[in-house]
A and B are shown apart, each in its own frame.
Chain A
């Protein structure tokens, strides 16, 4: 698998841009042609990152996957990228040598309008008539030869997900870049002119019209039903959060057991001392505390990937639009916000598909309030330690508390959005206009690849950021060494003890002890590190029996209930990790908005924790 930059490659390489409407299977075709792993989603705006890859078997061709768009009149930031690249006005991207224009065979005249617009660019072009299998199932028959004659460029029938027609497409491409560019077609240059011309061409090359996608209409009758629709949506979200807890239990126990036996093995094999402490208290207690959450994160992503690839996500946006409109956003914001439950970074990037600048800014600013998967480890530890594992009318109490934390984040996000739209992001609300794509059964291969990528990213973070911060923390917690005959645990005399003591002054009113205060600092690198840090701090300050019992029972005996609740409240709002701040800076073009974001989240977190701690202390007293 090679990832090549189209800009820096030698002059020998030809650059081919893959262009098409949203939902034409463009990303799937790109994957099939390059063998590059990429997420395939059904909602408009899935392709927000720049993706390039060498054409398999033809390494002197570089493909670039451009964001899906309905026309070259850009209406959002990601559509602007497409327009700039194909017109040769992009700041860094060179103008492509040729275009693969991807067309959905089941929706020919709509997609042809865009092909006609692309033809005016005067670039060599090959049309990929994609999804011909779906077209056949809908009894649509198209004369590809006649279409090629009308358009004056080669037309290749493809089925991207089954890798059909790829060799023919490659052949056509290698010929097209050598041939002179096709002569222009004269169809007029208003949208209306192109629409008419496209309709005319489509009807002259269509042999049979087709019967439409029956399954989609039948499914929508249920999933967009005024009563069943919202119940299904909220039921799905609820099930997602229950599953994160119940399905993950067995694999998590397994990982935890594995780490525990490794620690016992080291304890038995190595003499007591620095090396043993480094391995057991530093690496295993820290990194292990995070790795154990891999199953939960994968289950969450499984749900999101399946919802995306089936086409349900656009329906969710349709159902949510009314609710979003009430706080001045539109349903399109639901897609980046739902992605933010997995991680705010792809969520903030997906906000590029929102045309209105102020709506986009508001969406970016509230996305950290969606509980990302990095906060799962934090919630899980505290909930396992303090919330009894009981059944409340059929539902696990722990799952319900988790659901409550997510809901609190969502409500806070809506309130913040409403406030922002009336203050810093004032202005007219953008309208909501979204294609509801056909339902497709989720492609197992792409879901599995997506999960594999998530696991890889998570474990890489565990092996880098988390490992490094854990080691640094461990070192700071060991030195300076405690004086002879000290009454407190050694760690209280170390740098960590000193830093924690200083921070405790700030955090005491919200019930945080010095151990928590210390853990918040490395928690800025990545939120799950807070758990790793607690693992290390308590591992060093505790007795052997406490370590064996695991972090959950250590916290249970070390924290009061108000402190635990306050800690949960803190993490609903907790100022986000460094990567979120960095991506916000990149997407908003300066430090102003990331600064604002950190400040308002810190204020909210402190306020919420203060109220939670004081209220809980008062009620339990």
Chain B
């Protein structure tokens, strides 16, 4: 884990959060690596602005996230693989 004090996991933030992607949790196995690759393929990358635009009306999970110029819907468990720091 390479998280510093100011870092947080995206999945723990509430709607309205705005910040920068600082990294990804170090994967513990091949499955974790796959999940992070998948997030990268959907546009998540270090240094990009990230913003939680919406959450699901029935229980706040999944969330809709703006990353770069895309909007991605994902579950909080997945978003927790992404490390962010508030802007």
Contacts and interface: CB of A to CB of B under 8 A. Distances in A.
Interface residues of A, number: 41
Contacts of B61: 322
Contacts of B58: 230, 322-323
Contacts of A224: 53-54, 64
B56 A433 contact: no
A42 B56 CA distance: 21
A73 B37 contact: yes
Interface string A226-247: 1101100000000000000000
B70 A230 contact: no
B68 A331 contact: no
Nearest to B74: A433
A192 interface: yes
B71 A110 contact: no
Interface string A426-454: 00000111111000000000000000000
Contacts of A263: none
Given A216-B71, A318-B64, A322-B61, A435 B56 contact: no
B72 A436 contact: yes
B57 A220 contact: no
Contacts of B77: 431
Given A220-B64, A227-B57, A230-B57, A195 B71 contact: no
B45 A199 contact: yes
Contact of B56 (A107, A213, A318): A318
A210 interface: yes
B48 to A, nearest CB: 9
Contacts of A226: 55, 57
A33 to B, nearest CB: 26
A321 to B, nearest CB: 5
A191 B41 contact: yes
A432 B74 contact: yes
A113 interface: yes
A322 B56 contact: yes
B70 to A, nearest CB: 6
B12 interface: no
B37 A191 contact: yes
A212 interface: yes
A314 interface: yes
B70 A107 contact: yes
Interface in B37-85: 37-43, 45, 53-59, 61-62, 64, 68-75, 77-78
A25 to B, nearest CB: 15
A322 B59 contact: yes
A432 B54 CA distance: 15
B29 to A, nearest CB: 14
Nearest to B67: A110
Contacts of A212: 69
A109 B70 contact: no
Interface string A196-231: 000100000000001011001100100011110110
A317 B34 CA distance: 23
A331 B69 CA distance: 23
B70 A110 contact: yes
B62 A318 contact: yes
Given A71-B41, A195-B45, A224-B64, A434 B69 contact: no
A433 B79 CA distance: 10
Contacts of B40: 191-192, 195
B39 to A, nearest CB: 8
A319 interface: yes
Contacts of A192: 40
A80 B76 CA distance: 27
Given A192-B40, A195-B45, A431-B77, A220 B71 contact: yes
Contact of A321 (B34, B38, B39, B56): B56
A431 to B, nearest CB: 5
B54 A210 contact: no
A75 interface: yes
A434 B78 CA distance: 12
A80 B70 CA distance: 24
A229 to B, nearest CB: 6
Nearest to A318: B73
B49 to A, nearest CB: 11
Interface string B15-27: 0000000000000
Nearest to B72: A435
Most buried by B among A110, A220, A225, A317: A110
A191 B61 CA distance: 27
Contacts of B53: 217, 220, 224
Contacts of B69: 106-107, 110, 210, 212-213
A70 interface: yes
Interface of B: 34-35, 37-43, 45, 53-59, 61-62, 64, 68-75, 77-78
Given A71-B37, A321-B75, A436-B72, 4 more contacts: A226-B55, A226-B57, A431-B35, A433-B78
11 contacts: A109-B68, A220-B71, A226-B57, A318-B73, A319-B56, A325-B75, A432-B73, A432-B75, A433-B72, A434-B72, A435-B72
